[in-house]
Amino acid sequence: MPLLPADPTVLHPVPGQPRVVQLKPLVTSPLIEVGEYSYYDDPDEPTAFETRNVLYHYGPEKLVIGKFCALAEGVRFIMNGANHRMDGPSTFPFPIMGGSWADHADLLAGLPVKGDTVVGNDVWLGHRAMVMPGVRIGHGAIVAAGSVVVDDVADYTIVGGNPARLIRTRYDEKDIARLLAIAWWDWPAEHLTRHVRTLMSGSVDALEAAAPHRHDPSQQDRES
């Protein structure tokens, strides 16, 4: 009997746990891109992720989340729309309040722009972590609970605190390079299914040996 992978189109993938939602079949905003199998866990309103967890998202900057990411309850993404001018005596955004103040909308044109917020593949964001505008979080990174991420996070590192700082790297530089080359998150789902145990508890050597091209005779011929 063939091994069937999990279904990335199911909104609630965990039986009896409506608090867990896969984000790809949930999001509707063209400004949010999410890869397959990434999920959010919240006991209250998990399906309100776009409005409760992605804040001040007035565009055009995007939020991009990779595949196989785990987002714990209360994770928040602060987008560029939260920025205020800081080059004058007041930071108050007078034009948005209407009336004759709206005639000065040009004053909002100079707001700081940080660009897209990008979360790599296989990233774990802990309970109530907050990600600030324009941050890029690398593949395989872990953000500790309660952290405020204000700077980019390197691949396969663990960060924590406010502001978040490096706690440690998960692998040495050589193995990180190997993991990035393996890019297991791009493997066919059927192949992933055969190697779940290696992914969750194996070594980098074992994962490298399990890569699809290692089992493709045509690819091996090209490499020999």
Residue 127, Cβ density class (10 Å: 0-12 exposed, 13-18 middle, ≥19 buried): middle
Domain end: 130, 154, 170, which one?
170
Q: What CATH number has the domain bearing residue 36?
A: 2.160.10.10
pLDDT of residue 215: 56
Q: Indicate whether 178 and 160 sit together in one domain.
A: no
C-alpha angle with apex 180: 167 to 183, nearest 5 degrees? 125
Q: Which domain holds residue 131?
A: 1-170
Total of domains in the chain: 2
Tokens, residue 219 = 């690819």
Residue 60, Cβ density class (10 Å: 0-12 exposed, 13-18 middle, ≥19 buried): exposed
The tens digit of pLDDT for each residue in 121-146 reads: 999 999 999 999 999 999 999 999 99
Q: Indicate whether 165 and 176 sit together in one domain.
A: no
Q: Indicate whether 97 and 188 sit together in one domain.
A: no
Q: Indicate whether 67 and 118 sit together in one domain.
A: yes
Q: Indicate whether 95 and 149 sit together in one domain.
A: yes
Annotated catalytic residues are 84
Domain end: 151, 170, 189, which one?
170
Q: Indicate whether 18 and 56 sit together in one domain.
A: yes
Q: Indicate whether 128 and 20 sit together in one domain.
A: yes
Domain end: 140, 170, 200, which one?
170
Handedness of CA 6, 9, 10, 14 (dihedral sign): positive
pLDDT of residue 216: 54
Q: Indicate whether 155 and 180 sit together in one domain.
A: no
pLDDT of residue 111: 79
Q: Indicate whether 164 and 183 sit together in one domain.
A: no
Question: Quick one: which of 34, 61, 60 has its CA closest to 49?
Answer: 34
In the predicted model, residues of the chain with pLDDT beneath 50 are 217-224
Tokens, residue 65 = 């989340």
Q: Indicate whether 63 and 13 sit together in one domain.
A: yes
DSSP 99: G
Q: Indicate whether 180 and 91 sit together in one domain.
A: no
Q: Whole-prediction pTM value?
A: 0.91
